[in-house]
Chain A
Amino acid sequence: MKVRFIFLVFLFLIAASFVFAETYEKRIVIVCAGCHGTNGASVGDSIPIIGGQKASYLKKVMMEYKNDKKVGSVMPKIAKGYHDERIDFVANYFSNKQWVNTNKPFDKNLADKGKKIADVCYDCHGKLGEGIEAFPRIAGQPVFYLKQVLFDYKNGVLKSDEMSFVSEYSDVDLEALANYFSSIRR
């Protein structure tokens, strides 16, 4: 009887600490929604959707911002407010949210053009731009955001070996790629 009671108390404590951890975790991450939209479903076209994004990508990006390995607008500062445990919270929380596609329009002609050259992206981002592990989902992100990122890689503002291929593409090609992946809304 007594054992059972202790066991119940034990179970209760586990449950309580789980609930508390969950609220604490949520507490740390919901401030992000002010810029990225509720549940990370950004409606602004230069700020990426993070709800439903790959956890390992979110973690990698936050670490890069925090360690000044990646330039950005406010994020290199904000990431410094997140020690490693908090970065895990961010990655867990938002990756578990449902992906909501951008509501910003894309250009159909450019998207068609982009589709013809998109296979260069498939190895890392998947055939539907759905993302693979630390390579982000790009399907359904706003055109403006994708275009900006591609241009930043091309102009050396952002650096990455995997993305170095963009230097061989014209601006119009990159814009076409951005439109194609933005147009995949599933």
Chain B
Amino acid sequence: MLNINRRSFIKNTAIGVAGLSIVGCAGKYRSEFIPKKEKRVIVVGGGFGGCTAAKYIKLNDPSIEVILVEKNSHFVSCPISNLVIVGLKDMNYITFKYDLLEKNYGIKVLQTEALELNSENNTLITTKGALKYDKLILSPGVGFIEDKSIGYSLNLTDKIPHAWKAGRQTEILRRQLSELKKGGTVILRVPKSPYRCPPGPYERASLIANFIKRNNLGGKIIILDSNDDVTSKGKLFKAAWDDFYRRELEYFSQVDVQNIDTENMIIDTNKGKIKADIINFIPDQKASNTAFKLGLVKEDKLWAFVNSYTFESEMVKDVYVVGDSTNTGSVGTVPKSGYIANSMGKVVAESVVASLNGKTPPKPFMANACYSMVSDTEAIWVTAVYEYDENTKRTITIKGASGTPKTRSKIDAKHQLSWAENIWSDTLM
């Protein structure tokens, strides 16, 4: 199945690239948009990794010109989006403008899409024109894998939203849930690891079960997990499900979805057929399409391999990749999370600033702290600290400095929001 996925996916990418070069040849996109004068770093992707990199480059060396290329006008945070879906928070709580990066640090924020890379003469082609760079950093997030063989295409996402990229999809799923009829069934499919935010699907399922219970809907949520078991904070999630949601939540592991009939809302699996009112199908993931288009993913691979010390791409010189698009194995033992993308943003900022100034950057050091709600009032977490290890040439977990709490708590629910407000401020303000 994975092979079919990969082949059909690679075909799509090839078409994408061919299409682009026709656009590129039209000329308009190739003329230089903002002429380069001083040392310049371009950052593609205004998410956790990209904004942090842009900001910390300016903090480390304000003389470097930094241009942030982002296709959307606003940043919408995936962290806390599960709370928005169940109505505990509003969209505006997780939506931000980019203006403070411009105002506070002098970063040029360009709302445009990066289309193509001309690595021989360090030029990035965007919808607004060509931009020359000394260093190019990408943090373009994840891409989603279509699987036509089971009837799953990304065209269907308005009907069966994944909401694994916050924004429009978050709103659709929120609306669907608010209209869930009494006794209704929600299916949530957990993608095959690795995907962004390992505990995210289980947090969402817990909150949907809580929503069903709080509103006395008498319905249920069924988790169809394609993995062998809950991939993160397993014991803690299962304890909460046992204590709170025996009626509202059913969990199945090792599920292969064999067909999705969106007309009749029926999912066919290796364990049987299920009819649902809402299907939250979270597809398998890979590096963002942007990483493929720009030639940063090796043939037959799904993620961008990087040098674990500098984050420079293994494929293209002067181009760096951070955040979810990286092959985490090439980095070390880190998960795909917003906190890690923020940490990587700081490491890559030091890496390119040092390189532009003829210095060696310090060894990578990163951390992760991630909270998940298990009900409307209680949360759990997972945390770790990582350092660069000379032997393995990877950034690995420091012994003893990682783990989960003994149990869920109300104060950790409070910490989740404080955590979010702080990481948003460290990334965007």
With beta carbons under 8 angstroms apart, the residue of A24, A28, A78, A80 that contacts B369 is A78
Among A40-48, A53-61, A107-115, A121-129, the stretch in contact with B: A40-48
Interface string of A62-88 (1 = CB under 8 A from B): 000000000001100111111000000
A20 to B359, CA, bound (A): 9
- Asked if A31 is at the interface of the complex by the 8 Å CB criterion, the answer is yes
Residues of B within 8 A of A82 (CB): 385, 401
Residues of A within 8 A of B419 (CB): 35, 44, 47
With beta carbons under 8 angstroms apart, the residue of B362, B400, B417 that contacts A23 is B362
With beta carbons under 8 angstroms apart, the residue of B346, B381, B426 that contacts A73 is B381
Whether the Cβ atoms of B400 and A80 lie closer than 8 Å is: yes
Whether the Cβ atoms of A35 and B398 lie closer than 8 Å is: no
Residues of A within 8 A of B365 (CB): 27-28, 31
- Asked if B402 is at the interface of the complex by the 8 Å CB criterion, the answer is yes
B28 CB to nearest A CB, Å: 39
Interface string of A1-38 (1 = CB under 8 A from B): 00000000000000000001001101110111111111
Whether the Cβ atoms of A34 and B367 lie closer than 8 Å is: yes
Whether the Cβ atoms of A74 and B343 lie closer than 8 Å is: no
- Asked if A148 is at the interface of the complex by the 8 Å CB criterion, the answer is yes
With beta carbons under 8 angstroms apart, the residue of A24, A37, A80, A81 that contacts B425 is A37
Residues of B within 8 A of A144 (CB): 414
A82 to B365, CA, bound (A): 11
Most A CB contacts (10 A, CB to CB) among B342, B381, B383, B402 go to B383
Interface string of B370-402 (1 = CB under 8 A from A): 000000000001011111000000000010111
Whether the Cβ atoms of B403 and A77 lie closer than 8 Å is: yes
Residues of B within 8 A of A45 (CB): 414, 418
Residues of B within 8 A of A148 (CB): 411
Residues of B within 8 A of A32 (CB): 367
A43 to B414, CA, bound (A): 13
Whether the Cβ atoms of A31 and B398 lie closer than 8 Å is: no
Contact (A20, B362) CB under 8 Å given A81-B387, A148-B411: yes
- Asked if B40 is at the interface of the complex by the 8 Å CB criterion, the answer is no
Interface string of A129-153 (1 = CB under 8 A from B): 0000000000000001000100000
Residues of B within 8 A of A37 (CB): 422, 425-426
Residues of A within 8 A of B324 (CB): none
B258 CB to nearest A CB, Å: 40
Whether the Cβ atoms of B362 and A27 lie closer than 8 Å is: yes
Contact (A24, B362) CB under 8 Å given A46-B418, A77-B403: yes
Residues of B within 8 A of A46 (CB): 411, 414-415, 417-418
Residues of A within 8 A of B387 (CB): 81
B77 CB to nearest A CB, Å: 13
- Asked if B207 is at the interface of the complex by the 8 Å CB criterion, the answer is no
Residues of B within 8 A of A42 (CB): 418, 422
Q: Other than A24-B363, A42-B422, A81-B401, give 20 A-B pairs with Cβ distance below 8 A.
A: A23-B361, A23-B362, A24-B362, A28-B365, A31-B367, A34-B342, A34-B423, A46-B411, A46-B415, A46-B417, A47-B418, A47-B422, A74-B383, A77-B384, A78-B367, A78-B385, A80-B398, A81-B386, A82-B401, A144-B414
Interface of B with A (CB < 8 Å)?
56, 339, 342-343, 346-347, 350, 354, 361-367, 369, 381, 383-387, 398, 400-403, 405, 411-412, 414-415, 417-423, 425-426, 429
A-B contact pairs, 21 of them (CB 8 A): A23-B362, A27-B347, A27-B364, A30-B346, A31-B365, A31-B366, A31-B367, A37-B425, A38-B425, A38-B429, A44-B421, A44-B422, A46-B414, A47-B415, A47-B422, A73-B381, A78-B401, A80-B385, A80-B401, A81-B384, A82-B401
